[in-house]
Structure 1
Amino acid sequence: MKKLSIIIPAAFILMLSGCGNYFDSGNLQNVGMLVETSAHDEPWDKKGYKGLMAIEKQFNTDVYYKEEVKTMQEVRDAVDELVEDGVNLIFGHSAKYGKFFEEISKVYPEVHFVYYNGGQFTENVTSLNFNSHAMGFFAGMLAGEMTETNHVSVIGAFEWQPEIEGYFEGVTFQNPEAEVHLNYVNDWNGKEKAMEMYKTMRGQGADVIYPAGNAYSASIIEQASADGIYAIGYVADQSHIAEKTVLTSTVQHVEDLYTMAAENFNDGDLRGGVTTFDFQDDVISLGEFSPEVPKDVRSQIQEEVKAYKDTGLLPNERKAE
C-alpha cells in the first residue's frame, strides 16, 4: 500500500498524452481513494480504508489514498497524480466529491469515479447511496423502548440525514409519550459543538443519545457511559467503546461497496448513475445489542428488521395498510 503526498501536477495535456494507452483494456488497473480528513481516525473514514485494503488483496493491485483533499484544486491535483500512477478507478469518500468528480470526469473519460450519498453523476461517475431511513427507524424503536425519562435525543451532523427522520418516526411509533430532541452540528466532525449539544440535551432529561456524525460519535458515547445513560452507535458497531451503554449501532458496511464497485468495474459492468442500498442488500445492519436490552425487546427489533427485509415496509407502514 502506498500513501501519496500532494504535489504540483503536470499539465493536463501532457498527462493525457502520456497515459492514454494505459487504459485501453478497460479493466481494473490501480485504485485510488480521496478523503477529506484522515483515513485512520474516524469510523466512516476507517471503513473506506478497509474497503481499499480489501480491493488490494482481492485484485492484487496497487492502491493509493490521499488525505486532507477538500477543495476543487486539491481534488484536481490528487486525480492528476493518481492517473500518473496508473489509477483508473477513484473513490471519493464523501458526498462532497460528487460535484468535483462531475467536472473532472470530462477530462478523464477513461477513469471511473465513485463517491457516496450524492445526486451528481455522469457516464463515468457513480454515486453509491445508503438508504439510511430504516436504520434510523429501528434505532429509534429501541431508544423509545429503553428510555426511562421519555426524553431521547439526536445530535445530527446535518438536518437532511434520512436516519434522523427515521429515528424520530421509530421513537414515536414505539413510544408515543417520548419526546425527541433534535440538534445539528452542521459538520461531520464538530466534536466541540456536539459536546455542547450533548450537555444541553442532558439538561433536558435525555437518557438515550444518537450521535449521528463521524468524528464525534465515539466521544459522545464515552460521555454517555460516564453519565450512566444510553447511546446508539453510528456507521460502525461501536459496542466496543462501552458495551452496556451502546444499545445497538446503525452500521453501514461501506467497505463492501468498495469491493462491489471494483468487481463491477473490472467486469465492465459499472455504470454511471445513482444506486441506493439498504438492509435488503446486506450493506446496512444493526450492530451488537447491549446486555442491558431485554431479550424480548431484542427479539422484537430483530423480527421487525426481518419483516422489513422481506416486505420493504417499516412497521408503521405495515400498520397503515
Structure 2
Amino acid sequence: MEPKKQLTYILLITLLVTSVFFIFLLLRSNQIMSDMNASAQEPEKILIVTTDKVTDQSWGSQAYKGKMKIDNLFNAEVTLESEVNLDVELENIIQQAIQEGTGLIIGHGREFSEIFYKLTNLYKDTQFVTIHGDYTNSNLAVYTFDHQEIEYVAGVAAALKTSSNKIGVIDAVNNEHKDWGFSEGINSIKPEIELMYSVVYSRDDHEKALEIARKMINDGVDIIYTKGNSYNQSVINLAKTEGIYVIGYLEDQAYMAEDYMLTSVLNDVSQVYKAIVNDYFSEEGIPSQKNILNTTDGVYGLAPLGNMFSKEEIVIIENKEQEILSSG
C-alpha cells in the first residue's frame, strides 16, 4: 500500500474511532443527566402525625392545612395520619413510613416530643420534628412560637371592654406561669382587673370547659378568653346566651358570635410547616434545637376587632400593638 493511501486509511480509522468514542460519551452523559434530573425531581416523602381529628377548626385541622401548604410549595409527597394512638399505633406507622423511604416525620403537638426522642435513637437516619415540645436530639428538632406579644394586645382589648373588672381565661394546657402577654396587656390598661385562670387539660372536653365557664360567669366574669380549639364553640355559645364578651383562638371565630367576639388570637400553624420544610431542604438542614418562630414567620396575629370598639379604643389598641411588636 502506498504511504499516502496508508496515511489516509489511518486517519479515517482514527476519525471513526474518535467519533464512536464521543458518541458513547455523549449518550452516557445524557443518561447520567437524566438519572440526576429524575432523582432531583423525585418528591421527598414526608409524614405528619396527629392525635386529633382534622375536621372543623380543631387543632388537628391545622395539621391538614400544614400538609396542603407543603403540597403547594414543595416537591414533596406528604402523608397525614390523624387520630393516632401514641401507645398502640405510632411506632408501627413510623416504621412503615421509614421502610417506604420517608425522610422527615413531623409530630403535630408537644405530645409527640418525648416518644419521638426515644424513637430517634432507633431511626438515626430519619429527621424528626415536633411542633411545640421540649425534647431535641441530633435528628430531633422542635419548632414552636411564643405569641405572648399578640396575647398582650388581646389583653389590652379585653381590659378596655370589661365592666365588672373580672376577666377569665380557659386554657387547654396549664401555662399560667409561662404566659405573660394577656395578663400584662390587661395590667397596662387597668391593673385592678382580676384575672381568673382555669385549665381543662384537654382540647376536646366540652363539658369541663362549660363547667368552668359557668362558674366564671357566676363569679362576675364578663369576658372569657377561650383557648381550647375544639371546646371553644361550646364556650362561645354560652357566652352569647349569657350576654358576655369572648376572645377566640387559633382562627378568626367571629362568625360564631359576631356581636360578642372582641377578637381572636390567630395561630397560622401552616406557616410552621413551611418553615420546617424550608429548613429541611436547605443546605444546612434542620437545626437540632428548639426553633422559636415569630411574627416575621407569619405564625400568629390578631383577628379584626369587633364592632363594639369605639374609634378611640381602636387607636389605643393599635398603638399598644405597634409598641409591643417594635419592642420585641
Q: TM class by shorter-chain length?
A: 0.7 to 0.9
Indicate if the aligned counterparts of 2:166 and 2:196 stay in contact, CA closer than 8 A: yes
- Where structure 1 has 5 or more consecutive residues not aligned to the other structure, the ranges are 1-23, 313-321
Q: 2:263 — aligned with what?
A: 248
TM-score relative to the length of structure 2? 0.82
Q: 1:305 aligns with which of 304, 316, 321?
A: 321
Of stretches 105-114 and 68-77 in structure 1, the one that deviates more from structure 2 is: 68-77
- Secondary structure of the corresponding residue to residue 62 of structure 1: strand
TM-score relative to the length of structure 1? 0.83
Query: How far has the Cα of 1:204 moved from its partner?
Result: 1.0
Query: How far has the Cα of 1:292 moved from its partner?
Result: 1.0
Q: 2:186 aligns with which of 151, 171, 175?
A: 171
1:131-170 alignment, distance < 5 Å? 131-160=146-175, 164-170=179-185
Query: How far has the Cα of 1:47 moved from its partner?
Result: 1.6
Aligned mates of 1:29, 1:200 — CA distance in 2: 50
Of stretches 154-163 and 139-148 in structure 1, the one that deviates more from structure 2 is: 154-163
Q: 2:225 aligns with which of 203, 207, 210?
A: 210
Q: 1:13 — aligned with what?
A: none
Q: 1:71 — aligned with what?
A: 86
Flag the structure with larger Rg.
2
Q: 1:15 — aligned with what?
A: none
Aligned mates of 2:89, 2:310 — CA distance in 1: 50
Rate the CA distance shift 1:60–1:277 in 2: closer, same or farther, 3 A: closer
Aligned mates of 2:66, 2:240 — CA distance in 1: 30
Indicate if the aligned counterparts of 2:52 and 2:59 stay in contact, CA closer than 8 A: no
Query: How far has the Cα of 1:279 moved from its partner?
Result: 2.9
Indicate if the aligned counterparts of 1:72 and 1:100 stay in contact, CA closer than 8 A: no
Q: 1:259 aligns with which of 255, 260, 274?
A: 274
Structure with bigger helix share is 2
- Secondary structure of the corresponding residue to residue 272 of structure 1: coil
Rate the CA distance shift 1:282–1:248 in 2: closer, same or farther, 3 A: same
Indicate if the aligned counterparts of 2:263 and 2:302 stay in contact, CA closer than 8 A: yes
- Where structure 2 has 5 or more consecutive residues not aligned to the other structure, the ranges are 1-38
- Secondary structure of the corresponding residue to residue 206 of structure 1: coil
Indicate if the aligned counterparts of 2:150 and 2:181 stay in contact, CA closer than 8 A: yes
Q: Using the aligned pairs only, state the percent identity.
A: 26
Rate the CA distance shift 1:81–1:299 in 2: closer, same or farther, 3 A: farther
Q: 2:98 — aligned with what?
A: 83
Q: Please tell me the root mean square deviation across aligned C-alpha atoms, in Å.
A: 2.1
Structure 1 runs of 4+ with >4 Å offset: 161-164
Q: 1:224 aligns with which of 231, 239, 261?
A: 239
Of stretches 119-128 and 65-74 in structure 1, the one that deviates more from structure 2 is: 65-74
Q: 1:58 — aligned with what?
A: 73
Deviations 1:104-126 (A, max 9, x none): 11222222111122111111111
Rate the CA distance shift 1:85–1:293 in 2: closer, same or farther, 3 A: farther
Aligned mates of 1:162, 1:139 — CA distance in 2: 18
Aligned mates of 2:116, 2:207 — CA distance in 1: 31
